[in-house]
A and B are shown apart, each in its own frame.
Chain A
């Protein structure tokens, strides 16, 4: 089945550690996105990538990094520079017709 997978579903991190969230899609979509969602709020864009080996900062990129070495994969690293990383992280990819975005199940990150 085509879709977007994110792993892990839950992630616990100690302060000062970097962690990497996985996002894989087999929809053959060119564009991929990372969002952060805090409780009771909408989505905020962290990074996005329109093609392989290229990505752009979103509204809240500080403390995060990404790579796009393959079309299918867009991992997000939450670095120790991110002061308040506890949140729900959603990965999405999009296709051309409406540019509607399809989402993975999300990763809930908690800093202990």
Chain B
């Protein structure tokens, strides 16, 4: 079965600290991709970072980095130097191929609250 698991329903982090959001996945596909999205209270989903299954280096985008451990099937998001504006829901998603089409499988999300 193709599945994304986010085991942290919620997290509180002090401003300026680094935070790691966990994501594990399960797929039988050899080629897949992993995404992280941010959903602020306004509701819009904002694309943060992408890691392909064949990418050898961990992806980085500004303060966001993806700790990709293929053998453990994990793709954790690391946010460095957290800011109050980072408070939001964070979703991990996996791109798989179904019926020759790409689809995203979504995790249940982690609610991150940054404390001043």
Contact = CB atoms under 8 A, between A and B. Distances in A.
A31 B103 CA distance: 10
Interface size band for B = 20 to 34
Given A42-B91, A99-B95, A104-B44, A56 B109 contact: no
Interface string A56-94: 101000000000000000000000000000001010101
Contacts of A26: none
Contacts of A94: 102
Nearest to B34: A98
A59 B33 CA distance: 20
A50 B101 contact: yes
B116 interface: no
B108 interface: yes
B43 interface: yes
Name A's interface SS: strand
A4 to B, nearest CB: 9
Interface string A36-70: 00001111110010100000101000000000000
A37 B110 CA distance: 14
Interface string B83-116: 0000000010101000101111011110000000
A56 B93 CA distance: 20
A109 B99 CA distance: 30
Given A90-B43, A98-B33, A106-B44, 11 more contacts: A42-B107, A43-B45, A48-B101, A56-B99, A92-B45, A98-B35, A101-B45, A101-B104, A103-B37, A103-B44, A108-B43
